[in-house]
Amino acid sequence: MAVGFIFDFENCTECERCMIACSLAKTGKVLLAESRIRISRSWPKLPVISVCRFDSCENQPCIDVCPVSAISNEDGIVRIDKDVCIGCEACVSACPYGAIGMKDDIAFKCDFCGGDPACVKECVTGALKKGDDE
């Protein structure tokens, strides 16, 4: 299974529905700060979409920089073990896509919703798709 996203930045309306869907899926609430995908509005320029790129992230530097091996690649999905994470934020700095956040001194990021990302299902413009959808 290919793991990752395809972006059509020109179709993104910056509506943040993907962020809402993600935060609902992960926290049960609309908490945009805890969404694993972030849209940085930059109209009239194209938006910046911050989310883990999985397959297209060369060398996955977050894994190598973690001093306690809390980050691993399991079948293409890069995961953070919150029980092992010490909150050092090294992964936050190492991520080339700005895709890792912190909450209560624990790192968090997209885990691709087990292969069925909530954000993709909520994107009505087709700006965000699963990598194997094309």
Q: What is the pLDDT of residue 42?
A: 83
Q: Which residues 6+ apart lie within 8 Å of 91 measured at CB?
A: 62, 65, 66, 71, 80, 100, 107
Domains of the chain: 1-51+116-128 (no CATH), 59-109 (3.30.70.20)
| Residues β-bridged to residue 107 | 102
H helices then E strands: how many in the chain? 4, 8
Q: What is the pLDDT of residue 58?
A: 87
Residue 133 pLDDT greater than 80, yes or no: no
Confidence of residue 29 (pLDDT cuts 50, 70, 90): very high
C-alpha dist (Å) from residue 119 to 5, 27, 65, 131: 10, 14, 28, 13
pLDDT at 73 over 70: yes
Residue 2's pLDDT is 67
What number is the average pLDDT over the span 109-118? 94
Q: Residue range 76-103: average pLDDT?
A: 96
For residue 81, which amino acid is it?
Answer: D
| 33-44 pLDDT, tens digit each | 999 999 998 888
Report pLDDT for 43.
83
CB contact at 8 A, 47 and 14: yes
Sign, CA torsion 22/76/108/9 = negative
